[in-house]
Every structure is written in structure tokens, then in C-alpha cells.
Amino acid sequence: MLLILSSNSFSQIDTNRICFSYNKAKSIALDLVKGDSAIAELKLANKLIWQLNEKSDAQDSLVTLYAAKEENYLGQIANYDQILIKQEGIITGLEGDVKTLTRKNDILKKGLKWLGGGFVASLLSVVTLVTIK
């Protein structure tokens, strides 16, 4: 350890003087500049990565929103199909009821004709019997 501290090869005694050769100082300066530019590029790359992640998150939320909308639309279509099926069933049932009631109404009309004719005949026979007596 004492050997390292007492060595003048890499230490500076005079602050106005550089202990390195010109080529070594030049390579150190180039390394420092490259390091600074690498740090700047790293900061820029990190910023771009952050922006890309934000954009990706926004797109993911849009995809999730559109997926939920599609699911909602599919649910609405399924509900509409069920409504149509129920309406068709109700309409078919009502059409059957109309046919049945129309048939019964026709039978009732015929019965009333006969009944009306029978009532008139009965009334005539009662009036005839009353007048004969």
C-alpha cells in the first residue's frame, strides 16, 4: 500500500501540470466524451422506452375498452335474438287463439241462429195455442 501511495507515476503534485502523455490524455479525453455521450444516449433511450411504455399502456386500455364494448354488443345481440324468439312464440300462440276463438264464434253464431229460429217458432206456437183456447 505504501508503494502505491508514494509512487509519482499517476499522482499529480502540481495541479497545473498533467502527468500523462499527450496521447494518453487525448485518449482519456475521448473516453470522457464518449462516456458523456453514452450517458446522454442512455437517458434518451430511457425516455423513449418510458414513452413507448406509456403508449403501450394507452393502447392496452383502448384494446380492453373495445373488447368490453364488443362483449356488450354481443350480449345485446343475444338478448335481441331471445326477444325475437319470444315474440314469435307469442305471435304463434295468439294466432292459434284467434283461430280457435273464430271457430267457436262461428259455432256460437250458428247456434244463435237456430236458437233464434227456435224461439220464434216456440213463441208462435204459444201465441197460437193461447189464441185457440
pLDDT tens-place string over residues 51-92? 999 999 999 999 999 999 999 999 999 999 999 999 999 999
In the chain, the N- to C-terminal Cα span, in Å, equals 162
Tell me which residue has cell 362483449: 71
| Dihedral sign of CA atoms 100, 101, 102, 108 in order | positive
In a domain, 7, yes or no: no
For range 14-22, the mean pLDDT: 66
- Residue 11 phi, psi dihedral angles, 5° rounding: -105, 155
Residue 85 belongs to domain spanning = 19-132
pLDDT tens-place string over residues 93-125? 999 999 999 999 888 888 777 766 677 777 778
* Residue type, position 2, single letter: L
| Number of structural domains in the chain | 1
Taking Cα atoms as reference points, which of 116, 120, 118 lies closest to residue 108? 116
Cell numbers of 121, please?
217458432
In a domain, 77, yes or no: yes
> Would you state the pLDDT for residue 90?
95
DSSP 27-60: HHHHHHHHHHHHHHHHHHHHHHHHHHHHHHHHHH
The overall pTM is greater than 0.85: no
